[in-house]
């Protein structure tokens, strides 16, 4: 069976869905791996390295998909690529199905089987194939590095003969995987760090990394027990906004990481809060792809407000650390494939009774399988 890896089409995408290391392992499963020429260039992987690992380098997507039974991808294939995919092909990747309402229906209509790894349930078995966590971890790290680059002072306390430079004060909004990595990285750079999250469990996680906790503790926040934050009431948002107004103004760098799965990102940093920040302050909005946690964020752009606050609203933060992100993402995909690989049949065996398949299988045999995407009766 052939497995295809294509050059990603999304603007600014630097990741690739396989590496030479995972290619070797896939060939070990009995697969024939075809890689589109130039697919790994932005992730610092040459065609020669893929070829040395045993992959067949082909000229374009059409050649890669010819006879392919599996397609590994970083983003969902666009319409032009979907037109090239043969019925029955299994597409595996972070398809972001919730952000494209037409995707599941189109894949089903084309009889393309698909697994959306962002839909995997958050259970122990899924950790090694959890693309959201692996990519968010790197995005959190990159957020701090880019904040340090944009910040015109320094992160640590610096005492010199000419005087003392105060440490940067960093406030991280959202203590999921990205937020906790941002806290840890900012602490390593010497900043004074605080963090917030609506989930009570996050309080101890924030403190365990040496940061101080800032948050609204009430009955509603106590109910937030899942791995993702849920939608909060208007009353809670008002309480949070009052606390944020004073907290944001006291900090030099704000890193926003709050996401609600499948919905627009909540606006936590209001325009009023931005207006009260000091000139030279930095806001990093990792939620820009989902609308942004900051009211002033312009998705895809870096702006400076009239009062001198720089807001980085880059899209696709993991792609800004494409080499490492590709390594981890490719391993996630490989782990999923090997977990469900039938050695005798030399093909994936997606057992419908398996909890991981129940959670991530989007389409199969011309039908939408995931209940969240089935059309209303």
Which are the catalytic amino acids? 122, 127, 130, 133, 228
Rounded-to-integer distance, Cα 72 and Cα 20, Å: 14
Nearest-5° Cα angle at 295, 294 to 298: 85
Rounded-to-integer distance, Cα 48 and Cα 260, Å: 41
Rounded-to-integer distance, Cα 232 and Cα 150, Å: 32
A 10 A CB-CB count for 115 gives: 27
Rounded-to-integer distance, Cα 374 and Cα 62, Å: 30
Nearest-5° Cα angle at 183, 179 to 184: 120
Rounded-to-integer distance, Cα 350 and Cα 345, Å: 12
């Amino acid at each position: 069976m052939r497995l295809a890896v294509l050059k990603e089409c999304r603007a600014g995408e630097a990741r690739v869905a396989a590496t030479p290391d995972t290619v070797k392992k896939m060939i070990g499963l009995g697969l024939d791996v075809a890689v589109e020429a130039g697919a790994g260039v932005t992730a610092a992987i040459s065609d020669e390295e893929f070829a040395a690992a045993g992959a067949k380098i082909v000229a374009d997507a059409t050649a890669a998909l010819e006879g392919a039974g599996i397609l590994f991808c970083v983003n969902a294939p666009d319409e032009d690529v979907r037109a090239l995919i043969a019925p029955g092909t299994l597409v595996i990747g972070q398809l972001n199905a919730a952000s494209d309402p037409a995707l599941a229906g189109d894949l089903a209509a084309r009889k393309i089987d698909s697994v959306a790894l962002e839909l995997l349930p958050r259970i122990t078995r899924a950790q090694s194939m959890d693309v959201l966590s692996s990519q968010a971890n790197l995005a959190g790290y990159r957020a701090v590095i880019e904040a340090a680059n944009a910040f015109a002072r320094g992160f640590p306390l610096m005492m010199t003969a000419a005087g003392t430079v105060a440490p940067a004060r960093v406030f991280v909004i959202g203590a999921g995987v990205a937020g906790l990595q941002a806290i840890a990285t900012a602490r390593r750079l010497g900043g004074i760090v605080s963090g917030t999250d609506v989930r009570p469990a996050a309080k101890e996680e924030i403190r365990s990394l040496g940061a101080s906790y800032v948050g609204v503790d009430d009955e509603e926040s106590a109910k937030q027990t899942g791995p993702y934050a849920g939608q909060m009431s208007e009353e809670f948002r008002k309480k949070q906004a009052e606390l944020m107004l004073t907290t944001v103004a006291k900090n030099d760098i704000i890193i926003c990481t709050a996401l609600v799965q499948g919905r627009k990102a909540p606006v936590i940093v209001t325009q009023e809060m931005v207006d009260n920040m000091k000139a030279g302050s930095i806001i990093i909005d990792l939620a820009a792809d989902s609308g942004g946690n900051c009211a002033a964020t312009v998705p895809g752009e870096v702006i400076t407000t009239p009062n001198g606050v720089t807001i980085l609203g880059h899209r696709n933060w993991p792609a800004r650390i494409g080499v490492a992100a590709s390594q981890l993402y490719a391993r996630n995909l490989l782990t999923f494939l090997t977990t469900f690989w039938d050695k005798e049949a030399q093909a994936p065996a997606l057992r419908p009774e398996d909890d991981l398949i129940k959670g991530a299988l989007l389409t199969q045999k011309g039908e939408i399988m995931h209940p969240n995407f089935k059309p209303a009766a």
